[in-house]
Copies of this chain bind each other. A is one copy, B any other.
Amino acid sequence: MNYQITKDPIKIENVVQKVVQREAGAITTFIGTVRELTHGRRTLYLEYEAYESMALKKLEQIGKEIAEKWPDTKTAITHRIGRLEITDIAVVIAVSTPHRAESYEANRYAIERIKEIVPIWKKEHWEDGEEWVGNQLGTREYTDGKPGEEDLHD
C-alpha cells in the first residue's frame, strides 16, 4: 500500500511512516499544494480526476524505477483526487535513502515522472471559467506514443 489514490485529505505522517527504515537516515518529502495564482490568474479551486487503476500501476512503476536507480531506497506516494481548495495537499511523495543527496534526487525524479506518465488530470476553476490543465511541461507530442525517461526535464 505504498501507492494510493484517495479522496480524503492526505496525512503527511502516514506517507512518511511507510518509508521509515532502520538503515536509512534521510527521508525527503515533496508536498504539492493548490496554489492560488498561476500565471497571474486566480484559482478558486481545483478538481483532480484519475484513471485510478492505471494511475496506481504507474505510481508503482515509478517506485520500481527509483529502486533500480538508487538502491536501498523506499518510496511512497499518495495522490488526492476530487475537489481541492487553495493550500490543500494534492500529492505527497516520501523517499527514504541511506544518504541524503540521493533522497533529494530520487524524490525529484518521482515528481517529474508523475507529471509525465501518471493518468491524473486537474481542472482549474476560476471566477470566469474552468479548464482541464494540459501538459504543464510544455506542449509536445510523444512520437512513439509513449513518454520515455529521456523526456524528463525541469
Q: Among A24, A25, A96, which residue has the most Cβ atoms of chain B within 10 A?
A: A25
* Interface size of A as a range: 20 to 34
**Is B25 touching A107 in the complex (CB atoms < 8 A)?**
no
Number of copies: 2
Asked if A13 lies at the interface with its beta carbon under 8 angstroms from chain B, I say yes
Digitize A18-34: 1 where CB-to-B-CB distance is under 8 Å, 0 elsewhere. 00111111111111111
Complex contacts, A103 vs chain B, CB 8 Å = 30
**Is B24 touching A33 in the complex (CB atoms < 8 A)?**
yes
Interface, chain A (partner B; CB < 8 A) = 11-13, 16, 20-37, 86-87, 96, 98, 100-101, 103-104, 107-108, 111, 154
